[in-house]
Amino acid sequence: MEPSFQSLSCAVALFLSITALYYYLSSKPNPHRNLPPTPPSLPIIGHLHLLKPPLHRTLHRFSQALGPVFSLRFGSRPVVVVSSPPLVEECFTRNDVVLANRPKFLSGKYFSYNYTGIATAPYGDHWRNLRRLMSLEIFSASRLNDSSPIRQAQVELLLLDLCRNSSVNFSRVELKSKLSELSFNVIMRMIAGERCSEEAGEFRGLVSEAFELCDAANPGDFVPVLRWVDFGGYEKNLKRIHGRLDAFFQHLIDEHRRDRGNDSMIDHLLSLQESQPEYYTDEIIKGLILALIFAGTDTSAVTMEWAMALLVNHPEVLKKARAELDAYVGQDRLVDESDLSKLNYLQAIILETLRLFPAAPLLVPHMPSSDCTIGGFDVPRDTILLVNTWAIHRDPELWDNPTSFNPERFKDGEVEGHKLMPFGMGRRACPGSSLAQRVVGLVLGSLIQCFEWERVSEEAVDLSEGKGLTMPKLEPLEAMCKARAIMRKVLSK
């Protein structure tokens, strides 16, 4: 018998009522718990309707009304937001182990190989092993020294590219795309050596698509009923892009296996696979590669773009940085990574950029593996924890003139307390910070040493931030540049 329209409507109404009741009951605060303060919410969606981008600014407004620790509901998922140094210290010292988990989002099932990749893996032996492997095989000082010619070569390519139209007069350049390309090529060459070049263009496109998918929050992660129906075809897209990325990586690994070199990261991982094949599977290797590309390309690229935007807006700072480079390095050779530790003013510019524009303004979400307390409030297990570093970095109680760009504030190199943490803190802090500092330092140092920079008009560059996980600049940065004398030497090489 065909179901009548009326009985179908009844079934739908019943289903929606049960779902609403379930959410209402599960989102009702437990009276025995002392949960952090929370604003009024709606059934089912919780506070989702209040979350206007950029999220760090919205959460900052909440913290001004509710205090440095407050709670929200993103649909069915409880969220706690922390925005003060003492609470951050509590999270990542006393509570560091309990908070060392990550919440699961659907994107991690695909892009992080079923949550086995380093950035999404639960805290435990597997994650510890990946971190150990990374710090030995990629980020140790000796491995980073070995891979420094890769970065130097990519920087020289950028300098030559910029010089093409600017050797005599100032010419206008769009820096965002050039810095993204450099960042991507550096990571890919560290991972795969020269072999990634042929299909790299197509592959970059795929990575951008994957990034966009992770950027666009998936409603099904917060309202499970939407996941069952694959609202907006989100999971279908994840599967499609993951399938193509996976095929690209498998091809790369197979090529390296057939024709072994010994310098790239894939070569090192394949050697480990020979001795421990059951642990270092192709999946684990692919997960590591993807994590490095996801975590390491955009973060460094946006930091360099913000730094250049700030420098063209502050010619007096640019002039001082150039004077430092001329004094320590001169105009006879290019700056290299071994110079960076002596360039204190350049380092201060980088710290000040990371303070104002941290590429991960809310860190990466953490999640307690058991009930804990933060700031005297109860935080139940499986709550999503967000740390608003952006707000801490601009807190007038902690910084003089917090919104002004003033590298002089870091002239002694030291920062007291936990008021600056662009790379996070504790066990899950960024393992790539030393690589990032080398890349950002080398690129900025080279751009300042080799070119004069100006704004494209009298007007200051607009510093509004756009939507996106890594806090990109709303408008891609354009600037005027003109080669300095040293570029003649670089060209003659």
Interaction site with ligand HEM (CB under 6 A) = 118-119, 187, 291-292, 295-296, 299-300, 303, 358-360, 363-364, 422-424, 428-432, 435-436
Q: Least CB distance from residue 397 to ligand HEM, whole Å? A: 22
SS (H, E, C) 391-403: HHHCCCCCCCCCC
Q: Containing H/E element for 161?
A: helix 148-163
CA distance 394 to 306: 16
Q: Is 196 annotated as a binding residue?
A: no
Nearer to ligand HEM, 163 or 442 (CB): 442
Q: Least CB distance from residue 91 to ligand HEM, whole Å? A: 9
CB 459 within 8 Å of CB 479: no
Please identify which residue in the block is written with the tokens 């560091």: 96
CA distance 181 to 178: 5
CA angle, 109 as apex, 104 and 113 as ends, to 5°? 120
Q: Least CB distance from residue 172 to ligand HEM, whole Å? A: 26
- Residue 44: how many other CB atoms lie within 10 Å: 19
Nearer to ligand HEM, 367 or 487 (CB): 367
Q: Least CB distance from residue 454 to ligand HEM, whole Å? A: 25
SS3 content of the chain, % helix, strand, coil (to 5): 55, 10, 35
Contacting residues for 178 by C-beta, under 8 A, at least 6 apart? 158, 161, 162
Nearer to ligand HEM, 219 or 296 (CB): 296
DSSP 34: -
CB 393 within 8 Å of CB 355: yes
Residue whose CB is nearest to ligand HEM in the complex, by number: 432
Find, among 383, 80, 77, the residue nearest to 224 by Cα.
77
Q: Please, is 30 exposed, middle or buried when counting C-beta atoms within 10 Å of its C-beta (0-12, 13-18, 19+)? A: exposed
Q: Least CB distance from residue 428 to ligand HEM, whole Å? A: 4
Q: Least CB distance from residue 304 to ligand HEM, whole Å? A: 8
Nearer to ligand HEM, 179 or 238 (CB): 179
Q: Least CB distance from residue 452 to ligand HEM, whole Å? A: 25
Nearer to ligand HEM, 23 or 249 (CB): 249
Nearer to ligand HEM, 159 or 435 (CB): 435
3-state secondary structure (DSSP) of residue 174: strand
Nearer to ligand HEM, 242 or 438 (CB): 438
Nearer to ligand HEM, 218 or 299 (CB): 299
Nearer to ligand HEM, 358 or 407 (CB): 358
SS (H, E, C) 410-466: HCCCCCCCCCCCCCCCCCCCCCCHHHHHHHHHHHHHHHHHHEEEECCCCCCCCCCEC
Q: What is the DSSP string of 68-115?
A: SEEEEEETTEEEEEE-SHHHHHHHHTTTTTTTBB----HHHHHHTTTT
Q: Least CB distance from residue 301 to ligand HEM, whole Å? A: 9
Q: Least CB distance from residue 74 to ligand HEM, whole Å? A: 18
- Residue 486: how many other CB atoms lie within 10 Å: 22
Binding residues for heme: 430
Residues making up the annotated binding site are: 430
